[in-house]
Amino acid sequence: MKVFKWLWRLIWKTIMWFFILSVGLTVLYRFVPVPITPLMVIRLFEQTFDSDKKVRLRKDWVPFSEISKNAPQAVYASEDQKFLDHSGFDIEAMEKAWENNKKGKRVKGASTITQQTVKNVFLWQSRNYLRKGLEAYFTVLVELIWPKERIMEVYLNVIEMGDGIYGIEAASQEFFNKPAAKLTRNQAALIAAVLPNPRRWSPAKPTPYIYGRQAWILRQMNNLPPIGMGI
């Protein structure tokens, strides 16, 4: 009987501390730059044990005000066109993905910018029910505590944009030798075009497919309302 009581207290304390720490960290990151993410640490380990790769971690946090308005507009057009309207989940896209999965079709990603931000900042990359459950929890938490501008700011600063390259400032310096504040529409769209697989594609060496995605993103940028400091 004592064992069950001890086990119950342990479970209860673990859950309580998880909520305290998760809420506390979410509140902290509402104001403080994210210093490092689980994905960055995982990639460093992968590089360390891969003799063919150089160990590097390039990231430069910049506030939203120092990012060209073309960058959020490009990822808004490319990754999540309902970003301003949803509360963290694109239900319609999730339903379509579920139906396609049941039919055995190629599943297009249904993750919103908020979900991608949560996955990068708080979680790991593998797909399982525990990770998905935590992703949903943190997505609700982030949408409650962070304004949309902060979500976009964090997303643009932590997202993987190349091998060892994280965030829009590092990507802009690496691929175009300029700060993120000076990114043109074409350059921002090119960076957004490789985001589905930034370790396979590069804005420095665009393939015909990437140029096609860039052109599509540019058209979408024209069709969507401007997104910027007034998010």
82 and 127 share a domain?
yes
Do 6 and 70 fall within a single domain? no
Is there a domain that residue 231 lies in? no
Q: What is the pLDDT of residue 9?
A: 84
Residue 180 lies in a domain: yes
Q: What per-residue confidence (pLDDT) applies to 43?
A: 92
Distance CA 103, CA 110 (A): 16
Whether residue 58 is found in the same domain as residue 133: yes
Per the domain annotation, does 228 fall within a domain? no
Residues 19 and 90 in one domain: no
Asked if residue 79 is part of any domain, the answer here is yes
pLDDT given for residue 71 in this prediction: 96
d(CA 231, CA 51): 44
Alpha carbon distances (Å) from 13 to 1, 131, 150? 18, 21, 31
pLDDT at site 88: 87
Q: Are residues 163 and 145 in the same domain?
A: yes
Q: How many independent structural domains does the chain possess?
A: 2
- Shared domain for 71 and 120, answered yes or no, is yes
Q: Do 83 and 28 belong together in one domain?
A: no
Residue 10 lies in domain: 1-32
| Ranges in the chain, pLDDT < 50 | none
Predicted TM-score of the model (pTM): 0.90
C-alpha span between 17 and 19 (Å, rounded): 5
Question: Which CATH number goes with the domain that contains 107?
Answer: 1.10.3810.10
Q: For residues 2 and 63, state if they share a domain.
A: no
From the list 146, 203, 214, 218, the residue with the least C-alpha distance to 173 is: 203
- d(Cα 94, Cα 119) in Å, to the nearest integer? 17
Residues 1 and 96 in one domain: no
**Percent of the chain whose predicted confidence (pLDDT) is above 70:** 91
The radius of gyration of the chain's CA atoms, rounded to the nearest angstrom, is: 19
- Do 196 and 96 lie in a common domain? yes
Domain annotation covers residue 39: yes
Query: Parallel, antiparallel, or unpaired for β 165-166 and 58-59?
Result: parallel
Within-domain flag for 229 = no
27 & 112 share domain: no
In this prediction, residue 230 carries a pLDDT of: 56
pLDDT of residue 184: 97
The two tokens of residue 222 are 């024209």
Q: Are residues 5 and 53 in the same domain?
A: no
